[in-house]
Homo-oligomer: A and B are copies of this chain.
Amino acid sequence: MPRKVDADERRRHVVEALFRVAVRDGLARASLRTVADEAGLNIGSLRHYFASQSDLMRFAMRAMLEQVGERMRHGLADLAGQRGAPAAQRIRTAGKLLGELLPLDDVRRAEVTVFLDFAALARTRPDLHDLADEAARGSRTAVRRILAYVTGLSPRARALDVETERLLSLLDGLGINAVLHPDLVTADDAVRVVDAHLRALAR
């Protein structure tokens, strides 16, 4: 069975092309043809790796979610070892961790930008429902764990219900506004807002 090219490598390459198109022109314009062009591939080749548009979209979104999830998991793992740290330091590490969900550099800016389009699109695309739900649940439990770390409460504490939703919505809105209105909300602004929230929470 001949295989001169690494299929996984190719798929990654295509996903990167899709991201560039989506950031530049919007996810709606990331068609098979435009993505193939951006990747320097013929549409026939692209379709050899992705059977349909839905396949391509799902694969790309999965790749993004796993990329963010991986970073989050790494950060969360480090959390266990410093449960007794002073409040000021816990707030700092929590802020650093939550920053993974904010557009603080080009990579994360692209992630948030594409995710915004993706979330909006998934609302009316049944084939994307499961991924959108998975993302929503994943970010919720991550934020909840971070809140448990900051407050010292158990992750199962009822008191974290509204606080989780509060912080998560804050992060989502902050990221979106930073992406949509970079002149009104800079990366520094976003960090300041999260920091203020955590400090207010620690009282």
Q: Which residue on chain B has the smallest CB distance to residue A28?
A: B28
Tell me which residues across on chain B come within 8 A of A25, comparing CB atoms: 124
Contact size class for A? 35 or more
Choose the segment among A38-46, A61-69, A84-92, A171-179 that binds chain B (4+ C-beta atoms closer than 8 Å): A171-179
- A71 CB within 8 Å of chain B: no
Tell me which residues across on chain B come within 8 A of A174, comparing CB atoms: 165, 169, 173
Q: Among residues 147 to 163 in chain A, which have CB atoms less than 8 Å away from a CB atom of chain B?
A: 162-163
**Bound: A119/B203 CA distance, A:** 35
- A133 CB within 8 Å of chain B: yes
**Bound: A171/B165 CA distance, A:** 11
- A: residues with CB less than 8 A from B are 24-26, 28-29, 113, 116-117, 119-124, 132-133, 136-137, 140, 162-163, 165-166, 168-174, 176-177, 179-181, 184-185, 189, 192-193, 196-197, 200, 203
